[in-house]
Amino acid sequence: MFGDAYKYKEGEITIIPDNDTIRGMKDRVRGKEPLLAKNLFYYRHNIHGNFVVAEWIGRPKLYYIDKINLGKKGLANLTREEYDKFLRRSLEPMTAQEVMQMTNDEEYKFLTMQQEDQAEEKERLEKIARGEF
């Protein structure tokens, strides 16, 4: 995992069908990281206009992690160096300290997202109880 974890929100991102570059990335990691190959996807952020290669966490269309932010030009901006960095970070083993730090960071982000979801749901239920829809 590289970037921040996000909750999927319909309309915030547009998932783009796999193209040759994305299929190539999936093929390169499939041998060592079959789950990553399965969960890798490409999207455009509708608010910021950036194109991003990301990975679904668990069930698709629930939570995802950005792998490479390609800016507004998308895959046209993907350099060989960035591609190699993606592969290296995806396939090389991590140290115990890196795993521990990543786990702590992602757990914190995940719990924060869950708390935000619960607060939104509580607010929604309170509005329903008051007769507001």
Task: Encode pLDDT of 98-108 as tens digits.
Answer: 777 877 887 88
Domain regions of the chain by residue span: 1-92, 94-133
Whether the model pTM is above 0.85? no
pLDDT reported for residue 85 = 77
Q: At what angle do helices 20-30 and 80-91 cross, to 10 degrees?
A: 30
Residues 43-94 pLDDT 10s: 999 988 889 889 998 788 888 988 888 888 888 777 888 878 777 777 666 6
- pLDDT above 60 for 1: no
Q: Tell me which of 12-21, 60-69, 90-99, 116-125 is least confident.
A: 90-99
Residue 115: C-alpha distances to residues 57, 88, 120, 121, 122 (Å): 18, 34, 9, 10, 10
